[in-house]
A and B are shown apart, each in its own frame.
Chain A
């Protein structure tokens, strides 16, 4: 079946350190992956996405890595700041290039940044 999961429910890091949030997916047909950040009381906010023809994509302070061989996705946050504290979700489209646009979400990892 289709599932997206995260390895750790909570990640605690020191301010200024780098954070790495991991995600495993099971559907090899997925060709679009995306990371969201959700703060308390708000909807998920888009961070970065990546297509299956890439293995790395960088944004501002964030990098997404995709390893299709082991079906693993990670989000790296450089110089983590208190404002990065939130729940992070990975998502996949689940059905490949003919997909309907529906995203399947993992359960989320809570990132706690210690000052």
Chain B
């Protein structure tokens, strides 16, 4: 597609449930990123995929968070046993690699009740 697409745009879930967030990057982009943005805050890095290399998971806040990127394209961010502090906007971005601008989707707003 023309831009990064994320789904769903909004997700409300109960505490303790698992959620999956999807990201379709820009076609041909080799790098894919997940960031988290709490209300009124900056962007917190979560995880980064570059080609076939092992992902940089250094930003994942706990082992409840995981992500995969299938076939070098679509990515899914999974949060298990959600907690209220997980409520935030989860942003996905893709790029042509290091030193190239990241292009962001509009995010998934996650609310944990």
- The interface of chain A, by Cβ under 8 A from chain B, is 32, 34, 36, 41-46, 49, 51, 89, 91, 93, 99-108
| A102 adjacent to B107 (CB under 8 Å) | no
| A43 adjacent to B42 (CB under 8 Å) | no
Q: Which of B42, B100, B106 contacts A106 (CB 8 A)?
A: B42
Inter-chain contacts of B50 with A (CB < 8 A): 100-101
The verdict on A43 contacting B56 (CB below 8 Å), with A105-B42, A108-B42 known, is no
Chain A CB within 8 A of B8 CB:
no
How far is it, in angstroms, between the C-alpha of A106 and the C-alpha of B37 when the chains are bound?
12
- What is the minimal beta-carbon distance from B99 to any residue of chain A, in angstroms? 5
| A101 adjacent to B95 (CB under 8 Å) | yes
- What is the minimal beta-carbon distance from B109 to any residue of chain A, in angstroms? 9
Interface range for B: 20 to 34
For window 69-93 of B, CB contacts with A under 8 Å fall at: 91, 93
Q: Which of A46, A99, A108 contacts B102 (CB 8 A)?
A: A46
Pick from A34, A43, A49, A104 the residue with the most CB of B within 10 Å: A43
Q: Which of B97, B102, B105, B106 contacts A103 (CB 8 A)?
A: B102
Q: Which of B31, B41, B101 contacts A46 (CB 8 A)?
A: B101
Pick 11 A–B contacts, CB within 8 A, sort by A.
A36-B104, A41-B106, A43-B107, A44-B102, A44-B104, A51-B99, A99-B99, A100-B50, A100-B98, A101-B100, A108-B41
For window 30-65 of B, CB contacts with A under 8 Å fall at: 31, 33, 35, 41-45, 48, 50, 56
Interface contact tally, CB-CB below 8 A: 61
Interface SS majority for chain A:
loop
Chain A CB within 8 A of B67 CB:
no
| A101 adjacent to B31 (CB under 8 Å) | yes
- What is the minimal beta-carbon distance from A62 to any residue of chain B, in angstroms? 14
Inter-chain contacts of B104 with A (CB < 8 A): 36, 43-45
Q: Which of A41, A51, A107 contacts B41 (CB 8 A)?
A: A107
Minimum CB distance partner of A51 in chain B:
B99
The verdict on A32 contacting B99 (CB below 8 Å), with A41-B106, A43-B107, A102-B56 known, is yes
